[in-house]
Structure 1
C-alpha cells in the first residue's frame, strides 16, 4: 500500500489533483525531450510510477464532495508496468504526451473513457475490456508489444472481444509489431465506430475479424504495411459495419480481406491504392461473399494484385479506368447497377458504343470460364432496356464457352456462330439463305436439266428449284422432277441440300439454346 510520504513530487501533485479531476501538466516548452516521436527520458522530476496511477484509479484517494475524480496527466514518464487487468475502474483516465517504460494491460477491465494521446507505449493489451465511453489513442506510437494470453503472436494493440460504447479513436497513431499483428481486434464491438485517419500508419497486420462497427470503420488516408514480403494488411472477415471508408490516399501494402463482410451502407475505395503483397503472391482485394449497398471502387491506381469478388453482392458498383487489374474473380458477383466514373461525373455505364466490349473484356479477366458473370451482365443490360447489348453479352458467353469444348464441339460451335450467332443473331440465317438462293438461281439458270418424267409436271424454274433444295421440310415439286447430267451442277444440288439441313439444324439449336437461357 502506498503512503503519501513515499510519493515523489510529481506523484504528490497528481495525487492531490485526482480527487478534483485537475490536470497535471509536466511538460516543459523549452525542453526538446517532450517530443515523444523522438524518444528520450524525462528524468526523476517528471517520472510517475505506474503503481501510483493504479492506486488512484482504484480510489486510493477519494473524490472531494461536489467534484468528479479524474486522472489527467501530461508530459510524464510512466515507470513500471501499468497493470489494470480485471480492474473495476470508476474514473476516467487521460494521459497525454507520456512515455511508458513498459506496456499497458487493461485485459478484462471495466472502465470509463480512456485516453492515451500522443504517447509512446510498448504495447496495449485490452482484450475483453468494457469501456463505457471512448478509447482514445490518437497520435500515440505503439510498438514492440507483449505476448497476449489469447495467442502466441506479439501484438502492439490487442482489443480482442472488447466492447466500447463510444468510438475507438486511432487517428494519427503509428502502430508497429515486430511479428505480424499490429492490431488484433477480433470480435471488437465499437458502437461509435473505429477511426484510423489523419496519418494513421501500421507496420503489421490489422485484424478486425468478426468486429461489429455500427459507427463504421474510417481509414481515409491511412497507410497499412506488412513488414514481411507476403500476407494480409487488413483482415475484416465476417465483420459487420455501417460503412467502410478506404478513400483519399488510403494505401495498403498487403491484401485487404473482406471475406463475408456485411456493410449496411457504403464501401468506398475512392482514390485508394491497393498494392497487394510485395512478393505478388496474393490478391490486392479479397472480398468473397461480401455484401454492401454502395461499392465505390474508383481507385487512384490499378491494383498490383488480383481482385476477388466471388459471391459478393452489391446494389451499386462504381468503377473507373484504374479499377481492374489483369486478374478479376467475378464468379457469383451480383450487382444491381454499374456507374462509370467519367469526366464530368458518374453515369450509368450503358449506351456507349464500347460499353459491351469493355464489360466483356472485364469478365474475360476472370480465370477460366464461368457463365454467371455473363448472365449477370446481360441481366443488367436487360433491366436498363438494352436488349441488343444483352444478346451481345450472351453471344460472347457462348464464344468463351466454345474454347472449353472438345474439337468436335468447337467445330459445331463455330458453325452455330457463323450461321445464326448461337441463336442471338437469327438474321444471319436469312443472309445465308439469300446468298445461297442467289448462287443456286444463277448457276441453275445457265443450264437445262433433264426431266425425271418427260412431259409431266411444271416447267423448270431455277429460283423455285433452288428454294426446294434449301428447304428440307415439305417440298415445292421441283427437286424430284428434275436432275442434272452435269456432274458439277448435280454436286451443287447435293451441296444445297446439305446447306439447307445445316441451316435448319443451326436455327433450331440456336433458338432452343436461347429459350433455355443456357
Structure 2
C-alpha cells in the first residue's frame, strides 16, 4: 500500500489532482526538452511511477463529491510497468505527451476511456479487455520490445477478443513491430469505428481476423509495411464491417487479405497503392468470397502482385485502366454493374467503345480457362440490353475454351467459328451460302451439262442447280437430272455438296449450343 509520504513531488501533485480530474502538466515549455523523443533524458522532476497511476485508477484516493475523478497527466516519464491486468477500473486514463519506460498491461481489464496520445509506449496488451469509451492512441509511437512479457510473437498493440463501446483512434500513430504483428486484434468487437487515417504507420502485420466493425475501418492515407517473411500487411479474413476505406493514398507494402470478409456498404481502394510483398512474388490483394455492395478499385497505379477475387460478390464495381495487374483471379466473381473511371469521371462501362475487347482482355488475365467469368460478363451485357455485346463475349469464351481441347476438337472448333461463329454469328452461314451460290452459278452457267436421261427432267438452270447441291435435305430436281463431262465442274459439284453438309451441320451445332445456353 502506497503512503502519501513516499510519493515524489510530481506524484503528490497527480495524487491531489486525481479526485477532481484536474490535469497535471509536467512539461517545461522548452522546445528542446518537451518532445517525447527526449523522454529518456527527463529527470526526477518529471518522473511518475506506474504503480502510483495504477493505485489511483484502482481507488487509492477517494473521489471528491461533486467532481468526476480522472487521471490526467501530461509530459511525464512513467517508470515501471503499468499493470492493470484483470482490474475493474472506474476512471478514465488520459496520458498526453508521456514517455513510458515499460509496457501497458490491460489484459482482461474492464475500464473506461483510455487516452495515450502523443506518447511513446513500448507495447500495449489489451486482450479480452472491455473498454467503455474510446481507446485513443493518436500520434503515439507504440513499439514492440523483446522485454515485453506478452511479446512471444513480436506484438506492439494487442486487442484480441477485446470489446470497445466507442471508437479506436489511431490516426497519426506509429505502431511498430517489424517482423511481427503491429496490431493483433482478431475477434475484436466494436460499437464505434476504427480510425487509422493520414499519418498512421504500421510496421508489421495488422491483424483483424473475424473482427466486428459496425462503425467501419478507415485507413485513408495510411502506410502499412508488412513483414517480409510472411508478406501480409493487412489481414481482415472473415471480418464484418459497415465500411472499409483504404483510399486516399493508402499504401500497403505487403498483401492485403480480406478472405470471406462481409462489408455492408463499401470497400474502397480509390487512389490506393498495393505494392504487394517486398520480394514482389506474392499477391497484392487476396479477397476470395468477399461480399460488399460497392467495390471501388480505382487504384493510383496497377498492383505489383496478383489480385484474387474468386467467389467475391459485389453489387457495384468501379475500376480504371490502372486497376488490374497482369494476373487477376476472377473465377466465381459476381457483380451487378461496372463503372469505369475515365478522365476523373465515372461512366457506365457498357456501351463504351472497345468495351467488349477491354473486358475480354480483363478476363484473359485470369490464369487458365474458366467459363464463369465469361458467363458473368455476358449476363451483365444482356441485363443492360446489349445482346450483341453479350454474344461477342460468349464467342470469345468459345475461342478461349478451344485452346484447351485436343487437336481434332480444336479443328472442329475452328470450323464452327469460321462458318457460324459457334452459333453466335448465324449470319455467317448466309454469307457462305451467298458466296458459294454465286460461285456455282457463275461456274455452271459457263458450261453445258449432260442430262441423265434425254428428254426428261426440267431444263438446266445454273442457279437452281447450285442451290440443289448446297441444300442436303430435300431436292429441287436439278442435281439428279444433270451431270458433267467436264471433270473440273464435276469436282466443283462434289465440293459444293460437301460444303452444304458441313455448313448445315455447323448451323445445327451452333444453334443447338445457343439454345442450350439461352
Give TM class, smaller chain: over 0.9
**2:89 pairs with 1:89:** yes
Alignment match, 1:314: 314
Alignment match, 1:407: 407
Structure 2: 5+ residue stretches without partners: none
Alignment match, 2:132: 132
**2:481 pairs with 1:481:** yes
Give the CA deviation at 1:161: 0.4
Relative to 1, partners in 2 of residues 1:327 and 1:39: Cα closer, same or farther, differing over 3 Å? farther
Alignment match, 2:184: 184
Provide the rounded CA distance (Å) in 2 between the counterparts of 1:367 and 1:38: 54
Provide the rounded CA distance (Å) in 2 between the counterparts of 1:214 and 1:393: 39
Give the CA deviation at 1:41: 2.7
- Checking the alignment, whether the CA contact within 8 Å between 1:229 and 1:278 is kept in structure 2 is no
Alignment match, 1:253: 253
Provide the rounded CA distance (Å) in 2 between the counterparts of 1:436 and 1:110: 87
Provide the rounded CA distance (Å) in 2 between the counterparts of 1:74 and 1:515: 76
Alignment match, 2:28: 28
Structure 1: 5+ residue stretches without partners: none
**2:403 pairs with 1:368:** no
Alignment match, 1:99: 99
**2:451 pairs with 1:451:** yes
- Checking the alignment, whether the CA contact within 8 Å between 2:419 and 2:506 is kept in structure 1 is yes
Deviations 1:132-180 (A, max 9, x none): 1110011110112468888841100000000000000011000111432
Which aligned pairs between 1:183-262 and structure 2 lie closer than 5 A?
A: 183-228=183-228, 231-262=231-262
**2:420 pairs with 1:420:** yes
Deviations 1:161-202 (A, max 9, x none): 000000000110001114321110001112111000120001
Alignment match, 1:284: 284
Give the CA deviation at 1:229: 5.8
Alignment match, 1:53: 53
**2:326 pairs with 1:326:** yes
Provide the rounded CA distance (Å) in 1 between the counterparts of 2:419 and 2:44: 92
- Checking the alignment, whether the CA contact within 8 Å between 2:144 and 2:151 is kept in structure 1 is no
Give the CA deviation at 1:104: 0.6
Alignment match, 1:390: 390
Give the CA deviation at 1:260: 0.5
Kindly report the root-mean-square deviation, in angstroms, between the aligned alpha carbons of the 2 structures.
1.4
State the number of aligned residues: 518
- Checking the alignment, whether the CA contact within 8 Å between 1:41 and 1:77 is kept in structure 2 is no
| Divergent runs of 4+, >6 A | 147-151
Relative to 1, partners in 2 of residues 1:38 and 1:390: Cα closer, same or farther, differing over 3 Å? farther
- Checking the alignment, whether the CA contact within 8 Å between 1:230 and 1:279 is kept in structure 2 is no
- Checking the alignment, whether the CA contact within 8 Å between 2:39 and 2:77 is kept in structure 1 is no
Provide the rounded CA distance (Å) in 1 between the counterparts of 2:341 and 2:217: 24
**2:430 pairs with 1:436:** no
Alignment match, 1:66: 66
Deviations 1:190-229 (A, max 9, x none): 2111000120001100000100000000000000012426
